[in-house]
Amino acid sequence: EAGVAQSPRYKIIEKRQSVAFWCNPISGHATLYWYQQILGQGPKLLIQFQNNGVVDDSQLPKDRFSAERLKGVDSTLKIQPAKLEDSAVYLCASSLISIGQGLVKNIQYFGAGTRLSVL
């Protein structure tokens, strides 16, 4: 089974420039997540999609970050304009949430991430 694919693996830009990241989730996974991981910290959720609808974008800096999942499969995350503090690894994850007997099982599978450096 193919895993979560992300590209590019690395990106270096100057502040105020724009950048976009792409994610292809595991086939059949309806839920897709974008996380930001700053060096030395755990990943922080930016946005969660269920199919092509946004479930949670409460931590997405909407003045500069945007994300879409138009056909409920691939997703792109964009930063425009970038700031120095956006330097981080951007991780995409997908999951197939299962619900039964009052229990919700949600195993997320992560891509390798895109390492962004803003100079």
The residues of the shown chain that bind other proteins, judged by CB under 8 A, are 4, 33, 40-45, 48, 55-56, 58, 91, 93, 102-113, 115
Bridge partners (DSSP) of residue 12 are: 117
Instruction: Identify which of residues 53 and 63 has a Cβ nearer to other proteins in the complex.
Output: 53
Which two structure tokens, joined as six digits, stand for 95? 């999951």
Shortest spacing between CB 71 and other proteins, in angstroms: 22
Report the alpha-carbon distance of residue 81 to residue 51 in Å, rounded: 27
Nearer to other proteins, 18 or 106 (CB): 106
Is the distance from CB of 23 to CB of 32 less than 8 angstroms? Answer: yes
Shortest distance (Å) from residue 19 CB to other proteins: 19
